[in-house]
Amino acid sequence: MISKLLYLLLTFAISAIPLNIAVKMLEGKSNWIKAIIVNMVVAVLSYIIGLKVDNFAGLLSFVILLLVYKVMFRIGWFRAVIAWLIQLGIIALFWVIVYWFSGITLF
């Protein structure tokens, strides 16, 4: 039980790194702990939305994600979208590097 909780916390901590980098690039107010909390809040809210809303749950979850970014990092809507895109780019770049070092061809 405790190992599962530690694994979950470690997963949230590692997934917060690209978000923290993206928000700092956009001059938002962020630190690592705040990014971890934002990831947890977004995960819980998306889970609840998925349970309660049948149609457009993904779209509503995305809008909630942007709202949480906007409020927690004190950035505008446009910067929230850009932060999300930069975060995805950092994650994609990480996996390209992992595949490159491991010798796995992508295409």
Question: pLDDT per residue over 62-90, tens digit each?
Answer: 999 999 999 999 999 999 999 999 999 99
pLDDT class for 12, splitting at 50, 70, 90? confident
Task: Indicate the number of domains in the chain.
Answer: 1
Q: Give whole-number Cα distances, 65 to 3, 85, 95, 98, in Å.
A: 28, 12, 23, 27
Does 31 map to a domain?
yes
Specify the pTM.
Answer: 0.85
Question: Looking only at Cα atoms, what is the longest distance across the chain?
Answer: 43
Full domain range(s) for residue 34: 2-102
Does 71 map to a domain?
yes
Contacts of 68-75 spanning 24+ positions with Cβ under 8 A? 68/38, 68/41, 68/42, 69/23, 69/38, 72/34, 72/37, 72/38, 72/41, 73/23, 73/28, 73/29, 73/30, 73/34, 73/38, 74/28, 74/29, 75/23, 75/26, 75/28
pLDDT digits (tens, 9 = 90+) for 21-53: 999 999 999 999 999 999 999 999 999 999 999
Does 68 map to a domain?
yes
Does 107 map to a domain?
no
Does 18 map to a domain?
yes
